Amino acid sequence: LQQMLEDARGKKFEVLICYRLDRVSRNIADFSTLIEELQKHGIAFVSVREQFDTSTPMGRAMMFIASVFAQLERETIGERIRDNMHELAKTGRWLGGVPPLGFKAERISFIDEEHKERSLVKLNLVPEEMKIIELFYEKYLELGSIYKVRKYLVQNNIRSKKGAHFSSRVIAESLKSPAYVQANEEVAEHLKKKGIIVAGQDRSNGKRAILTYNKRNNKGIKNELEKWIGAIAKHEGVISPEKWLQVQERLAKNAMRLPRVGTSEVALLSGILRCAKCGSAMNVTYGRKRKDGSCNHYYTCNMKVISGQEHCQNPNANGIDIDHTVISKITELATSNKSTEVLLGELEALRQEKKHLEKVDILDELQKKKERLLGEIKNLVGEVSKSATASKYILPQIEAKDREVNDLDEEIQKLEQKKEKQNKQAENFSLVVNNILNFSSAIEDLENKEKKFFLQTIIDTVFWDGETGVVSIVLLTDTTPGKKNLSSNVSQFYPAPCWPGNQNNTAGSFNKPLVLVKI
């Protein structure tokens, strides 16, 4: 379609012919825009099936009326599909996607009332995983918070089937899901109060669970609970209704507690500071309050907080010291004549390279070659029409040239993607370099929250090694492998013997600048 519009603007054809109007568009606005575009360039529009005469007002009116019905048909089909999916959902079958933890999807066949063979997908229990689900519920009622449940799982080395630690999100979703409950009237009433009506309650035997559908719209955005669909499932639950309802009550109470005051006003590195020993994020913790109400803040490895020193022994970082160190080092990088010379030199080299790419554009040469081949194909096609005898000699030539055109198209696409990537890298590099150079003059006038945001436009990650006292700053600038880049130049000013947490890799093997500072 886009190629056709481009040809229309170049007036490469006089008439657009379609078999039926809805083959062009089923959206009134799009169709109207298309017709206006064609008329602007003096191109006629012909629909073989409807036979509109677009030269008359009545013909144009009938054409737009037909497009209204085409859009209506499209929307009706969409509604019909959605309604059908909703009706299937109400039967309690699994409609696809990744099964919840503790289940696997299995297709089964059956004979319907009309003695026809049908199939559906249902969820079957995975006993090993379901034991973990039961543990989630048991420990949540015992410990009282998702955080403590996760801490218990880490300390006891209880992991997912892929060997990873369970996240708080997975635990929370498992506790909220009615897919595990042996549903009864009380469970259905609880969901109804939240706005979820449960269908198929006549199939409930006090053991079957409930599946929920339509939780997100077609754009992936979460729907309101009133739009969710609940249905008695084909599989049986494992959590008693009493225990499930107790968990829901506890979750609701915890959600009503006032949220913790944010740390962004104090801790400048929260969100970008990671442990050099295990790679986990480092959380902000606070010391004792002074008489004036102030207190020191520290950064502690998240894995250490959850599981203690068994999993990570990295000492805590003093918040004021490490925040000040990072700011000082970025300021030094911005104000040092040698560093500034390197940064500006790299930026100028990148700009010159971009200009060179724009001047010597291989894409233009490939496009011209493609157009030449298409012209040759057109001429050969003309020769075929003149002589049937010559076709057996000419057709192989046409096929060979057509293959060349396809190869050119692939090469053109790869080059366009490469060019777009280089442009993006140049823009990102320019932004980060300019922010570094302006850092020292701007940082003093900013509030803590603004300082944090400014740092995040320059720094990708900061690693803390408490044993050596080394802070490793990874800048955001992306560089191209195989050429002299900012990473190697910065390493000359701040020697980087190894990558944090990995003694086998040198800083030079990474394509991001690494600055090491010892507190």
Q: What is the pLDDT of residue 501?
A: 38
pLDDT in tens, 21-47: 777 776 666 777 788 888 888 888 888
Q: Is 436 helix (H, G, I), strand (E, B) or coil?
A: helix
Which of 206, 174, 176 lies closest to 190, judged by CA?
Answer: 176
Query: CA gyration radius for the chain?
Result: 33
Q: Is 24 helix (H, G, I), strand (E, B) or coil?
A: coil
pLDDT higher than 60, residue 497: no
Q: What is the pLDDT of residue 180?
A: 94
Banded pLDDT at 360 (limits 50, 70, 90): low
| β 229-236/273-275 pair status | unpaired
> How many CB atoms neighbour CB 486 within 10 A?
24
pLDDT higher than 70, residue 288: yes
Question: 211 phi and psi, to 5 degrees?
Answer: -105, 145
DSSP output for 237-275: P-B-HHHHHHHHHHHHHHHHSPPPPPSTTT-TTTTTEEE
Q: What is the pLDDT of residue 179?
A: 92
Least confident span in 62-66, 249-253, 402-406: 62-66
Instruction: Using CA atoms of 438, 440, 445, 448 in order, give the dihedral in degrees to the nearest 10.
Output: 100
Which of 237, 256, 265 lies closest to 179, judged by CA?
Answer: 237
Question: 166 phi and psi, to 5 degrees?
Answer: -70, 135
Which of 519, 18, 2 lies closest to 269, judged by CA?
Answer: 519
Question: 200 phi and psi, to 5 degrees?
Answer: 75, 30
Which of 243, 264, 296, 270 lies closest to 137, judged by CA?
Answer: 243
pLDDT in tens, 202-218: 778 888 899 888 777 76
Q: What is the pLDDT of residue 494?
A: 32
* Edge-first strand listing for the sheet containing 208-213: 198-199, 229-236, 208-213
Higher pLDDT, 83 or 227: 227
Dihedral sign from CA coordinates of 350, 354, 360, 361: positive
pLDDT higher than 70, residue 83: no
**For all residues of the chain together, what is the average pLDDT?**
76
Higher pLDDT, 349 or 223: 223
Distance CA 241, CA 207 (A): 9
pLDDT in tens, 408-462: 888 888 877 777 777 776 677 777 777 777 777 777 777 777 888 888 888 888 9
> Quick one: what percent of the chain has pLDDT higher than 90?
11
pLDDT in tens, 329-344: 888 877 777 766 766 6
Amino acid identity, position 163: G
Banded pLDDT at 407 (limits 50, 70, 90): confident
> How many CB atoms neighbour CB 429 within 10 A?
22
Q: What is the pLDDT of residue 177?
A: 92
Q: Count Cβ atoms within 10 A of the Cβ of residue 296 and give its class: 0-12 exposed, 13-18 middle, 19 or more buried.
A: middle
Least confident span in 232-246, 310-324, 407-421: 407-421
Q: What is the pLDDT of residue 130?
A: 93
pLDDT higher than 90, residue 13: yes
Judge if pTM exceeds 0.85: no
Distant-in-sequence, close-in-space partners of 174: CB < 8 Å, separation ≥ 6: 100, 101, 102, 133, 136, 180
Most confidently modeled of 54-63, 285-294, 504-513? 285-294
Q: What is the pLDDT of residue 304?
A: 81
Higher pLDDT, 188 or 402: 188
User: 211: part of which helix (H) or strand (E)?
Assistant: strand 208-213
What b/e readout covers 218-238, taking b as 16+ CB neighbours within 10 angstroms? eeeeeeeeeebbbbbbbbebb
Q: What is the pLDDT of residue 507?
A: 31
64 with 45: CB under 8 angstroms? no
pLDDT higher than 80, residue 265: no
Higher pLDDT, 170 or 94: 170
pLDDT higher than 50, residue 491: no
